[in-house]
Amino acid sequence: MNELPYYRIPETPENMTATTVLIRLLDGLGFRYRWATEGLRAEDMEFQPCSTSMKVWELLAHIHWLLIVSEEFITGKELEKGARTGKELEKGTQMRLDERRKKTLDTVVRIREALLELDDENLENRMYSPPWDEREFPIWNLINGPLSDVLTHVGQIASWRRINDNPILGAFVFYGEPPARAHPSTSYTTSSTQSSDEEQ
């Protein structure tokens, strides 16, 4: 049984507000990441489609860092040691895949929990100075910056895998359901929604 979050997407929020819309975006991100990184092989981690692109392990590290930055944006808490300068991107600090996935998804969960404590007014007034700029920015820049970057990089992981002959299991992203072919040793014991519209 896998303890990772986002085996399936959480229930939709009861009310639609700016904060709950952002939470749903985050849930979609967590769900897509969870399944895009399921079943990665050792040979996938070093794969890059060209010499100027990041390797898969570098994409994973960068995604983790972007989410740590996003957590500080939402919570106001200090970043993990070394995260503000992106030290975790150095080759010598490469994490094991299982550890990286857990830490990354745990960060998504913490951001979600922090958002649940914020109302729209607090979200609107939130200002943040990111590691790469001394100026302060509102929540809009978090959406079109780090969070959009994460979605882009999750898509790259899915693409890199397909190029390397290890396509992802097709999670039902529209419904937020796990793949019908999810291996029992790596998934929760639960029924999967069957659909002819399986999304890769």
CA 190, CA 87: separation in Å to the nearest integer? 39
Is residue 2 within 8 Å of residue 186, measured between CB atoms?
Answer: yes
Q: Specify the CATH superfamily of domain 18-186.
A: dinb family like domain (1.20.120.450)
Q: Is the pLDDT of residue 185 over 50?
A: no
The average pLDDT across 68-82 equals 81
Confidence band for 184, pLDDT divided at 50, 70 and 90: very low
Contact 69, 33 (CB under 8 A): no
Helix boundaries (H) for the chain = 18-36, 42-45, 56-75, 97-116, 120-125, 139-142, 148-163
Q: Please give the Cα distance from 17 to 84 (Å, whole number).
A: 31
pLDDT of 172 over the 50 cut: yes
The total number of residues written for the chain in this structure: 200
**What pLDDT is attached to residue 2?**
53
Give me the residue spans of the domains in the chain. Answer: 18-186
Statement: residue 186 has pLDDT above 60: no
What was the pLDDT predicted at 79? Answer: 65
Note the pLDDT tens digit of each residue in 120-162. 999 999 999 988 899 999 999 999 999 999 999 999 999 999 9
pLDDT, residue 88, reads 52
Per-residue pLDDT of 82-131, as tens digits, reads: 555 555 554 445 789 999 999 999 999 999 999 999 999 999 999 999 88
Rg of the Cα atoms in the chain: 17
Listed residue (27, 53, 30, 57) closest to 42, CA to CA: 57
pLDDT tens string 2-42: 589 999 999 999 999 999 999 999 999 999 999 999 999 99
The pLDDT of residue 145: 96
Predicted confidence (pLDDT) per residue in 46-65, tens digit: 999 999 999 999 999 999 99
SS3 assignment for 123-152: HHHCCECCCCCCCCECHHHHHHHHHHHHHH
